[in-house]
Amino acid sequence: MSGQAESGGSIPTAHRVQSDCLSQVREGSVHYAPSKSIWFAGMALAAAVGGAATISVGHVLLFVISTGLVLLFGHSLGSHRKLVHNSFQCPRWLARLLVYLGVQVGLAGPLSLLRQHDLRDFAQRLPDCHPYLRHGRPFWVDAWWQLHCDLRLARPPRIALEPAVAEDPFYQWLERTWMAQQLPPALLLYAIGGWGFVFWGVCARITVAVFGHWLIGFLAHNHGELHHTVRGAAVQGRNVRWASLLTMGESWHNNHHAFPGSARLGLYAGEWDPGWWVLRGLQRVGLVWNLRLPADLPRRAEVWPPYVSPETPAHSEVRHV
């Protein structure tokens, strides 16, 4: 356990959002967001045109490796399991490195990502919420909304981030400069392999990561397996089994809705979870510790059925919706 431990994100997500009525997450309108839209569309256009002009086995391999690394270490471990849910402990330098890699996914700055996640998490646990927050519109409408628009709530609830995170100078710097953080890898890749490396190692990586984040989010709230039900919730998370390796375990979303503070997302037999495998490896060399599992979390009466240990075979009554 070398180095100062990073404790950011220790407040449960449901407690970071302060709201006094359901209408605060239900009443609002969706508006076109120019910077968000231009960012994604620009990356997608560069990836399509530049990628087609420079395609090669080496460039595709660069894309696969770079995308896999930022999704695994950045999005899954850094942004989600550590920053948002604080489901494991590690030295501060490692937490910051993982969060920096999370910025390389190209979704948003760490503080914005944390606020967006907390708002959705809070809203989805209520009996109803705006369809933007629960992926509640048809496929192409939701794609347009999530990739090119923002939700403006009439009276947005207050989101109280933990001061250790909100006031951290490093996270504040990443928040201000998250788009510009793509320049260092772009310059390095250009120096090594020219524009082809930039198109495939930056533009294609961001395009697929951002689009994939939306796509899995849409599927994981509309189609898939249910081990558990969160009673009274506006929407149920669903397990998208075929995407477990592509998402580094993040597609076990029904498990995650039931036990959001768990560092392990693939909880039952046959549920592959690369993020968990890496955490266990880091634990063996002393770089992470206090990995939380469902049994370590406070029991939620609204979750049914209760947790069954990973050693027990997967539920025989898995539902497909």
Percent of the chain with pLDDT over 90: 86
181: which 2 tokens? 């953080």
pLDDT value for 313: 47
Instruction: Report which of 150, 159, 181 is spatially closest to residue 74, judged by C-alpha positions.
Output: 181
Looking up tokens 């086995």 gives 57
Phi, psi of 130 (to 5 degrees): -60, 140
What is the pLDDT, as a whole number, of residue 306? Answer: 86
What pLDDT is stored for residue 109 in this prediction? 97
For 2-48, the pLDDT digits (tens) are 456 565 544 455 556 766 567 789 999 999 999 999 999 999 999 99
Mean pLDDT of 208-220: 98
321: three-class secondary structure by DSSP: coil
The pLDDT tens digits for 54-68 are 999 999 999 999 999
319 Cβ contact list (under 8 Å, min separation 6): 225, 226
- The confidence score (pLDDT) of residue 4 equals 61
Beta strand 158-159 pairing with 17-18 = antiparallel
Q: What integer is the mean pLDDT of 205-209?
A: 98
Per-residue model confidence (pLDDT) at position 23: 76
Q: Rounded distance, CA 312 to CA 206, Å? A: 38
Q: What residues are paired with 257 via a beta bridge?
A: none
**Among 150-159, 175-184, 292-301, the range of highest mean pLDDT:** 175-184
Tokens of 136: 């509640």
**DSSP letter for each residue of 207-259:** HHHHHHHHHHHHHTTTSSEES-EETT-SS---B-GGGTTTTTTTTBHHHHHH-
Cα end-to-end distance, the chain, whole Å: 43
pLDDT at 105 over 80: yes
Nearest to 150 by CA among 119, 191, 181: 119
Between 1 and 83, the more confident residue is 83
For the CA atoms of the chain, what is the radius of gyration? 19
State whether the Cα torsion 98-103-107-112 is positive or negative: positive
- Mean pLDDT over all residues of the chain? 91
* 211-223: average pLDDT: 97
Report pLDDT for 142. Answer: 98
Name beta bridge partners: 15: none
CB 37 within 8 A of CB 147: yes
Q: Is the model's pLDDT at 308 over the cut of 90?
A: no
* Bridging pattern class, strands 225-226 and 28-32: unpaired
Residue carrying the six token digits 């899995």:
216
